[in-house]
Structure 1
Amino acid sequence: MTSKDKPTRPGGKAKGRDKKPHSGSEKPAARAAGSGPAAPAGADEPQRISKILSRAGVASRRDVERMIMEGRVSLNGVVLDTPVVNATLADRIEVDGHPIRGIERTRLWLYHKPGGLVTTNADPEGRPTVFENLPEELPRVLSVGRLDINTEGLLLLTNDGGLARVLELPSTGWLRRYRVRAHGEIDQEALDRLKEGIAVDGVLYGAIEATLDRVQGSNVWITMGLREGKNREIKNVLGALGLDVNRLIRISYGPFQLGELPIGQVQEIRGRTLREQLGPRLIADSKANFDAPIYNDQPAAAEPEAEPADHGKAEWGSKREKAEDKRERALARLDTRRDDGRPSERGRSRGKPEERPARPPVRRNRSSNVWMAPGARPTVEKKPKAAEEDLSPKAVRRAPAEGKRRARP
């Protein structure tokens, strides 16, 4: 009896199920279609066209839908009249006759929001918004959650709508810390009861970590940490405890800290740091794309023309030029010329010999071989002229001759 003749047990695996699937990354249908250019990641996944254009940085989804109704968007040469259309990145999508540039790499920025700004793209009341006060070099970004108009501190910005949505969810579990200044009195025991949750006006708020930092006059400073981030959660919870919040600053959002970031400034998180902080689960849930390029809207600088190969001669020549420049700089430090080209009092010019001015003769007025500084006075009192001996060089040379003349008969 062979293995083929063995009876199968009831409920056993079907024949051929124990075979491993093909190791190729392409689907069988794609392999049967023939070999073609590799499509980008996610290109074969149909998505709503408004989502694709929003992720490509064209505009928000609502603005894209309005642009479609105005007839400004075309798909594969057909002008769209409804936003209820699915497309892929492999399709040819044009806005105002220009093809979209594609999806950009997932990026994240830290922004220190000042008070008085509304976290919205357009405010019907005409109040200043966050996006109107961002630096001009930023691309189109979305905010991760919102901060009230009077709330200050850390606000996360990203160009990926999927990432913004995932980081806003309470299931993500990221702790958000706030520094709160409130008017009133409270003790640490009352704040510890917030760890069990609290219900305010029929709304149940989850566990909140609260620490009483200090008392400043009639105000108290409290550090609070929460994971849900419901609308006006801190103000409602502290209001139920008899406190009136008069200042609110968010100092951290998950692993990202406000630190010493100046008010109104933006700081981008490096791609490697962002991947490490998100982790595989959040990257998969948000479908973040770290393989796409980063588009720069600024014109690139003109590249220098390529020089012909000189087999190392240019490098040797550059080293020689550097040595000569170094020597010239050393000589320049020794130059004592004035700015007007005339020689200074403490040196002479480095011009040609015929250009150098004639040096005036040195006049020596001293009658002794002892050097004295100009303007100095001898400290020894002079003898009377009658008793003073003539020690000049002429008198010394004249003395032996006079002695000889006197010695003759």
Structure 2
Amino acid sequence: MLLKRAIGVAAGAAVVTAILVAPASGAGQADLDSAVREAMLAERGAAASADFGTPVLAEPLVEPTRSNDQGWAFGTTTIPAPDVEHAGPHTAIFVAHRQAQGWQVELDGTAEFVEAVERAPADVVSEGEKQLFARNYENSRVAVADTGLGLPWAEGVAWWMGGGPHGDSGQSRPFSSLDFNGGNGQVLSAGAGRVYKSCLRNGSGLVRVVHENGFSTTYYHMTGLTDLGDGQPVAYGDYLGRIDVGLPCGGSTTGPHVHFSLLRGDSHTKVDGQTIGGWTFREGAQAYGGYAERNGTQVGTGGRITNHGQGTSTPTGVVESGQNTSVNVRSEPRLSAPVVDELPDGSVVRIKCTARGDFVDGVWGRTDLWNQRDVGGWISDGFLYTGSDGPIAPAC
């Protein structure tokens, strides 16, 4: 029988004990809540305290979403953050099975959790979720050079990076989080996976997407949350919520934004050196500093970066036509070349390569840089927002 791991300290070393909370008469909801809280504090309490800079002050919130009469339960549990600067809640997905000795509780991101959800009946954990959790766990142990994730807004659009790499709770390590705002305010899933919501209060909550590639992403401060139920599939770019100042489980915020965090396995992972949305993020000496880098261009905190989508193979730009309603696409990077297409303002252009040609006085000033589309034709960089003043694609 699997026993829940609990972390204690003996002569400076971690020791393993078992947590089995004996069921009271009826083995009801209160017993489940107690078991999940105890497991959450044992496994994640120390990390939460370190992030918060203070001992855990509130009991973990337990939100079961499914159960059956065979003694199985599934849901989320969250340690609320204290009301201190930029603190963020800690959350986990749990599966629990009631046995004679008490509830056996497993938290996501571990081999024990994968084994437990595999044993759980399909009315509590779907077959699709079982496959997802198994793949996520296996892939979380494999080194990758690119997350395969986009940024959490529409592809080809630029948002403000209001906060560079920082901890899930501000100064805490690792620097796993980024703050973004801009555009239409709609926060979109950074990749395909399944969605889970926790700490649902006052129209806000903490949204998490578990991805097959070993990563999970979380999104905090939002309102207008997706109406998708826990465990439902989401695709890259699916709507999750809107930027706001929601604090359903503590923390603080100075204005509407999304607090976007990256996790692997059962813990946060640094964004330093990770490529997301075509940008590689670098942390600074202090939290909220650092920058995003792409093709030699660096954008620091307070700057705008364009979501170039999943992976880095095809850069993109957005047509900015200025006083016009459209921009000409020419057969060569010359103003005298024939017009082969017209693109309306706001169109997303996938860029194959770049070259120097005729100078053009565009929205972004005078430039001789031209971009060749992946479907053919040339558009002046003066009418294309790419998040950079220089080339973002290889030379043609």
Question: How does the TM-score come out when normalised to structure 1?
Answer: 0.20
User: Which structure would you say has the larger Rg?
Assistant: 1
Q: Structure 1 or 2: larger strand share?
A: 2
Question: How does the TM-score come out when normalised to structure 2?
Answer: 0.21
